[in-house]
């Protein structure tokens, strides 16, 4: 990635809330749909502020002046997105059926996520951030915009998605950087780990995990079940996350190996029966997105591609509509799964 060119885009593609035409009449919804839409935009405002806080931590940690300025622009972007989301919530709140506040799971999760990013190794923190950005951009924002299906939402989401595309491109760039040999050597020389650092990271991660499941369920998975009942965009977002982990330089990262182990145990015909529910609770994810969402050829292709190419492909998915390119797999009965596992080894 040409960081100087990216910084130029960050500067030239700035926009303001008043650039949008807020005089566009709001479409009418049925009661339950209006309540859902207003709540989702209210939660979106909180998610965007959380993203801004995470980018602010990355800005503070970076020694590269170009990256520091890029991350500073991202913080500005996310704060603007939050303000737009609140305006959209007010725009569609035509009947004032109830009062709206950010989801309590989001409120509890925010400081714990920020603390993990602050305390964890940068590579781990960046993987979490990239996952959140992909889930937000590929799945939630696009599906919410389609569900609202209104000119006011369209013009706002067009500009927000343009900003988020820059964010994801840099997220992928940072994933590659933190997985590089050069960074590993630099980290070993400049930031040797001690027992106290590891204890702090472990404590922050434990608190994060404890609040992750209700956050993902209430703020992402449940809303997506309403605005994208096919589940295609949810699966596509997590597929992109999984394919990124097929890059050899990323796959060898300890955290990536840990996630791969969780996936293998979850899909194992025997271990999955015993450990599956515990893995779901520990990861805080919907069971639909824990198993493999790609085939062998896609894995080999992703391993050969550059990280920039993978980022470009992920960004292209956003404009393709709600289609998941691999058939969703049902969880087979125990007898069938054990039989297949034994047959493969006889």
CB atoms within 10 A of CB 304: 10
Question: Are 40 and 223 spatial neighbours (Cβ–Cβ below 8 Å)?
Answer: yes
Question: Are 214 and 105 spatial neighbours (Cβ–Cβ below 8 Å)?
Answer: yes
Residue 321: predicted pLDDT:
57
Q: What ranges do the domains of the chain cover?
A: 3-343
* Ordered per-residue pLDDT tens for the chain, 346 residues: 899 999 999 999 999 999 999 999 999 999 999 999 999 999 999 999 999 999 999 999 888 999 999 999 999 999 999 999 999 999 999 999 999 999 999 999 999 889 888 887 777 788 888 988 999 999 999 999 999 999 999 999 999 999 999 999 999 999 988 888 887 777 766 666 667 777 777 777 778 877 888 999 999 999 999 999 999 999 999 999 999 999 998 888 877 888 899 999 999 988 888 999 999 988 888 899 999 999 999 999 999 999 999 999 999 887 665 555 554 444 445 444 444 444 444 4
Contacts of residue 282, defined as CB under 8 A and 6 or more positions apart, other chains included, come to: 209, 262
Residue 125: predicted pLDDT:
81
Token representation of residue 25: 């009449």
Residue 192: predicted pLDDT:
62
Taken as a whole, the chain contains a residue count of 346
**Secondary structure (H, E, C), 104-140:** HHHHHHHHHHHHHHHHCCHHHHHHHHHHHHHHHHHHH
Pick the CATH number of 3-343 from 3.30.540.10, 3.20.20.70, 1.10.620.20, 3.30.2400.10: 1.10.620.20
């Amino acid at each position: 990635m040409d960081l100087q060119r990216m910084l130029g885009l960050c500067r030239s593609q700035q926009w303001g809330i008043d650039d949008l035409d807020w005089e566009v009449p709001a479409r009418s919804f049925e009661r339950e749909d209006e309540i859902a839409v207003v709540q989702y935009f209210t939660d979106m405002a909180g998610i965007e502020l959380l993203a801004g806080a995470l980018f602010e931590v990355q800005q503070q940690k970076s020694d590269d002046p170009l990256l520091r300025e890029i991350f500073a622009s991202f913080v500005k972007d996310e704060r603007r997105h939050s303000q737009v989301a609140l305006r959209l919530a007010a725009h569609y709140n035509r009947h004032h059926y109830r009062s709206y506040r950010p989801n309590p799971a989001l409120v509890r999760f925010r400081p714990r996520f920020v603390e993990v990013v602050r305390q964890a190794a940068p590579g781990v923190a960046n993987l979490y951030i990239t996952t959140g950005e992909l889930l937000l951009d590929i799945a939630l924002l696009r599906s919410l915009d389609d569900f609202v299906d209104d000119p006011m939402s369209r013009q706002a989401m067009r500009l927000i998605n343009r900003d988020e595309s820059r964010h994801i491109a840099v997220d992928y760039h940072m994933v590659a950087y933190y997985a590089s040999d050069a960074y590993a050597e630099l980290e070993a020389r400049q930031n040797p780990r001690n027992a106290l650092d590891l204890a702090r990271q472990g404590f922050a991660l434990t608190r994060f995990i404890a609040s992750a499941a209700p956050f993902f369920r209430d703020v992402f998975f449940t809303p997506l079940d309403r605005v994208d009942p096919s589940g295609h965009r949810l699966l596509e977002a997590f597929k992109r996350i999984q394919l990124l982990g097929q890059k050899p330089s990323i796959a060898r990262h300890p955290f990536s190996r840990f996630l791969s182990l969780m996936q293998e145990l979850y899909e194992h015909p025997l271990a999955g029966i015993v450990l599956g529910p515990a893995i779901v609770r520990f990861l805080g994810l919907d069971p639909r997105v824990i198993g493999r969402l790609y085939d062998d050829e896609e894995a080999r292709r992703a391993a050969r591609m550059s990280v920039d190419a993978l980022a470009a492909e992920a960004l292209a998915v956003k404009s393709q509509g709600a289609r998941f390119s691999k058939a969703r797999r049902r969880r087979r009965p125990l007898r069938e799964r054990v039989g297949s596992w034994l047959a493969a080894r006889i």
